[in-house]
Chain A
Amino acid sequence: MILDSYDPLKQEMFNVIDDNGKVVNKDYEPDIDNETLINMYKTMQLARIADVKALQYQRQGRMLTFAPVKGQEGAQVGPMAAAEDDDWLVPSFREMAAMLYKGVPLKQLYLYWYGNEQGSKFEQNVMPVNVPIGSQINHAAGIAMASSIRGKNQVAISFIGDGGTSHGEFHEGMNFAGVYDAPMVTIIQNNQYAISTPRQMQSKSETLAQKAISYGIPGIQVDGNDPLAMYAATKEALNRARAGKGPTLIEAVTYRQGPHTTSDDPSIYRSEEEVKNWQKKDPISRFRKYISNKKLWNKEKDEALQDEYKDFVKETFKAVEKYPTPTVDEVFDYTYAEMPKTIKAQKEAYKAYLKEREGE
């Protein structure tokens, strides 16, 4: 059992492949079918290309503020590949790769960061982007509890950052889920910084995984840039959850290669050298080497994929730019499931004003 074999109090970290994609932990190499391996890789690439393009669009003044995922794709795609379709994804706000893997169309994600709520309506079991730090853990606990109460087999997989673990809601949610043995897996993406504040300033705990001990649940530190390790650890946690054994806490040790959001300048608080060192552990290149070693992938395929995705991303963004801006009805109509008279009156008064102004 992976979860029993790595002690967070001893700073033991689980990985499967090294920086060159070579398997160094044969015992725990997950048995993943080829199609899934390719799908994992493709999703990471799509997230990377969409991310890099979005940053360009933002610099051109075409995109609003957004939170880039670059560098964390492996920590997200590994867990989602291990999950079932019916499982829930409860994201924070930097989970583009996880959301894409769940089947959320890129257009939706772009539309959200473009400033339109229509981008948060998903067909999948995926909650909208959650901006207030840490608060999503309680939603995941509730989703998981509802799954138990309704006799479903779903697990809620939630993501949080290293900074989020300092928040009271993280504690309340983990503790709550623990008490009810709720089927929940919480993944801390420890990307080393909360905006500018380094990991060490968030907690005196040597690992974030060890916080699990106080909730009476397993906690494990995983190389977050190793999608295979993330897959394997999550799979075991999901099996535990489905067996009624309760939540698991996984700390994915990773790195945010880009800025916190497009409004952030990371050169103020970290060195070029540090970034370069982490780029050597880039999850996409590591995974590419792994699937190339398995003869599932090669340079030609990669170039073709990159060309295809660059065109797709461009077309998607163009469609988003052409998406109609919200109407007056739209900004009023979703406030309540059933619109109260008072709001209806405000809407009509505002429409009358607009009409009058048009006539002026």
Chain B
Amino acid sequence: MAEKTLLKAINEALSQEMERDDSVVVYGEDAGYEGGVFRVTAGLQERFGKQRVFDTPIAEAAILGSAVGMAANGLRPVPEIQFSGFMFPGYNQIAVHMARMHNRSRGKYKMPITIRMPYGGGVRALEHHSESLETLFAHLPGLKVVIPSTPYDAKGLLTSAIRDDDPVVFMEGKRIYRAFKQEVPDDAYTVPLGKANIVQKGKDITVVAWGPILHEAKKAIDSLKDEDFSVELIDLRTISPIDTDTIIESVKKTGRFLVAHEAVKTLGIGSELISRVNEEAFFHLEAQPTRVSGHDITVPLPRGEHHHIIDSGRIAHEIKRVATFE
């Protein structure tokens, strides 16, 4: 066991799954020789050869469309989309084929594909490099969506995703690729898909977050430690399918609910979570369920991005308001 970054944990999961199963192939724009623009796939081509780890033309539809064909013909592809904001030409393949092929073929063609893509803001990037587009994937039946917040979870969740027989969109918060380290086992292990994680137990309010925002939520909660209430923090981890049970059980106990996400507000995952809380824990609520999210605006370029990205201050402000509402 050693301390590893999220990036290193992902690299390790890829490497170990390629070692374990020779049907796993890794490819994408600059993902081969260079090891990706973030170096997530560094060293893999050297180790597993150009046939299983390769560079591609700049062609997202072909990257994801070929994955559908590879999966139909016995491979377990792990394509990389260089930035989630560039996935749209490939979104056609995800929406019209990948997510539906198992259903369309009545189970003949499984789609064990894991699409990795860095997402989210906070890195002073160009336009199209800062979006949080998880809703666009979570709205598609047949697809799973996973967002890890820690190196430990990243390795375990990615291992599960690669071994899963359904297509998984695996979104990596690029601003936490190298932000911190955590003890991560050297051997392979899995963290189950579809299962949220209670990061911190509490009695008075339930807070749900994922990815980089989970760390902002943690900071927010730390800043409120002298307050007269305690917070239960849940890391959603799998965005689709949602682990409704863990959230509802928590809200029934705390009676208060807040969700924080980086994505824009309207029809963000927060909308769905609040709907579920209302449907299943309505009579336990002591305050209105609340969202802290990005605004319904185009993500500003770096000089104005701080107005959009939610930070621990905004989350703390809302936690306090909801937790003390009478």
A residues sitting closer than 8 Å to B (CB atoms) are 88, 90, 117-118, 120-122, 127-128, 130-132, 135, 137-150, 154, 156, 168-169, 172-173, 175-176, 179-180, 334-338, 340-343
User: How far apart are B183's CB and chain A's nearest CB, in angstroms?
Assistant: 30
Tell me the bound Cα distance from A20 to B60 in angstroms. Answer: 47
> Residues of B contacting A338 with CB < 8 Å?
164-166
| B61, CB-defined interface residue at 8 Å | yes
> Residues of A contacting B194 with CB < 8 Å?
340-341
Task: Show 19 residue pairs from A and B whose CB-CB distance is below 8 angstroms, ordered by the A residue.
Answer: A131-B96, A132-B96, A138-B68, A138-B69, A139-B66, A139-B72, A142-B68, A142-B69, A143-B69, A150-B23, A156-B69, A169-B92, A172-B62, A176-B57, A176-B62, A176-B66, A179-B57, A337-B102, A337-B107
Contact present for A335 and B59 (CB under 8 Å): no
Q: A334 with B62: in contact, given A138-B68, A143-B72 (CB under 8 Å)?
A: no
Q: A142 with B108: in contact, given A150-B75, A340-B194 (CB under 8 Å)?
A: no
Query: Beyond A117-B104, A338-B164, A338-B166: 6 further Cβ-contacts under 8 Å?
Result: A128-B105, A132-B92, A138-B61, A142-B70, A335-B142, A336-B144
| Chain A residue, CB-CB nearest to B276 | A342
Tell me which of B65, B72, B105 contacts A172 (CB under 8 A): B65
Q: A140 with B69: in contact, given A149-B75, A150-B74 (CB under 8 Å)?
A: yes
| Nearest 5 CB-CB pairings of A with B | A142-B69, A138-B65, A142-B66, A340-B241, A146-B73
Contact present for A145 and B241 (CB under 8 Å): no
Tell me the bound Cα distance from A90 to B245 in angstroms. Answer: 42
Contact present for B106 and A149 (CB under 8 Å): no
Contact present for B106 and A118 (CB under 8 Å): yes
Tell me which of B52, B73, B93, B107 contacts A334 (CB under 8 A): B107
Q: A147 with B73: in contact, given A335-B102, A337-B166, A342-B241 (CB under 8 Å)?
A: yes
User: How far apart are B59's CB and chain A's nearest CB, in angstroms?
Assistant: 4
Tell me which of A127, A135, A137, A140 contacts B92 (CB under 8 A): A135
**In the complex, which residues 105-138 of chain B have their Cβ closer than 8 Å to any Cβ of chain A?**
105-111
> Residues of A contacting B72 with CB < 8 Å?
127, 139, 142-143, 146
Q: A120 with B93: in contact, given A127-B72, A340-B241, A341-B194 (CB under 8 Å)?
A: no
| B162, CB-defined interface residue at 8 Å | no
B residues sitting closer than 8 Å to A (CB atoms) are 23, 25, 51-52, 54, 56-57, 59, 61-62, 64-75, 77, 89, 92-93, 96-97, 101-111, 141-142, 144, 164-166, 194, 241-242, 244-245
Tell me the bound Cα distance from A137 to B103 in angstroms. Answer: 20
Contact present for B65 and A146 (CB under 8 Å): no
Tell me the bound Cα distance from A341 to B194 in angstroms. Answer: 9
Q: A175 with B75: in contact, given A121-B105, A139-B66, A149-B25 (CB under 8 Å)?
A: no
Contact present for B92 and A150 (CB under 8 Å): no
Contact present for A168 and B89 (CB under 8 Å): yes
Tell me the bound Cα distance from A299 to B243 in angstroms. Answer: 68
Interface centre among B23, B69, B77, B101 (most CB of A within 10 A): B69
User: How far apart are A355's CB and chain B's nearest CB, in angstroms?
Assistant: 21
> Residues of B contacting A120 with CB < 8 Å?
104-106, 108
Contact present for A341 and B66 (CB under 8 Å): no
> Residues of B contacting A343 with CB < 8 Å?
141, 241
Contact present for A135 and B75 (CB under 8 Å): no
| Chain B residue, CB-CB nearest to A139 | B69
Tell me the bound Cα distance from A136 to B96 in angstroms. Answer: 11
Contact present for B96 and A172 (CB under 8 Å): no
> Residues of B contacting A154 with CB < 8 Å?
73
Interface centre among B65, B111, B141 (most CB of A within 10 A): B65
Contact present for A135 and B96 (CB under 8 Å): yes
Q: A135 with B142: in contact, given A121-B106, A146-B70, A337-B165 (CB under 8 Å)?
A: no
Contact present for B107 and A121 (CB under 8 Å): yes
User: How far apart are B205's CB and chain A's nearest CB, in angstroms?
Assistant: 24
> Residues of B contacting A335 with CB < 8 Å?
102-103, 141-142
> Residues of A contacting B106 with CB < 8 Å?
117-118, 120-121, 334
Contact present for B59 and A175 (CB under 8 Å): yes
Q: A336 with B66: in contact, given A121-B108, A142-B73 (CB under 8 Å)?
A: no
> Residues of A contacting B103 with CB < 8 Å?
117, 334-335
Tell me which of B54, B97, B108 contacts A139 (CB under 8 A): B97
Interface centre among A144, A176, A343 (most CB of B within 10 A): A176
Tell me the bound Cα distance from A337 to B109 in angstroms. Answer: 10
Contact present for A173 and B75 (CB under 8 Å): no
> Residues of A contacting B111 with CB < 8 Å?
337
Q: A138 with B62: in contact, given A121-B105, A143-B69 (CB under 8 Å)?
A: yes
> Residues of A contacting B70 with CB < 8 Å?
142-143, 145-146, 149
> Residues of A contacting B108 with CB < 8 Å?
120-122
> Residues of B contacting A131 with CB < 8 Å?
96
Tell me the bound Cα distance from A146 to B71 in angstroms. Answer: 8
Tell me the bound Cα distance from A135 to B65 in angstroms. Answer: 7
Tell me the bound Cα distance from A141 to B57 in angstroms. Answer: 13
User: How far apart are B269's CB and chain A's nearest CB, in angstroms?
Assistant: 13
Tell me the bound Cα distance from A130 to B97 in angstroms. Answer: 9
Q: A337 with B110: in contact, given A149-B51, A168-B89 (CB under 8 Å)?
A: yes
Tell me the bound Cα distance from A90 to B70 in angstroms. Answer: 13
> Residues of A contacting B74 with CB < 8 Å?
146, 150
Contact present for A146 and B69 (CB under 8 Å): yes
Tell me the bound Cα distance from A335 to B61 in angstroms. Answer: 22
User: How far apart are A330's CB and chain B's nearest CB, in angstroms?
Assistant: 8
User: How far apart are B12's CB and chain A's nearest CB, in angstroms?
Assistant: 23
| Chain A residue, CB-CB nearest to B89 | A168
User: How far apart are A51's CB and chain B's nearest CB, in angstroms?
Assistant: 23
User: How far apart are A181's CB and chain B's nearest CB, in angstroms?
Assistant: 12
User: How far apart are A128's CB and chain B's nearest CB, in angstroms?
Assistant: 5
Tell me the bound Cα distance from A118 to B68 in angstroms. Answer: 20
> Residues of A contacting B56 with CB < 8 Å?
176, 179
Contact present for A341 and B97 (CB under 8 Å): no
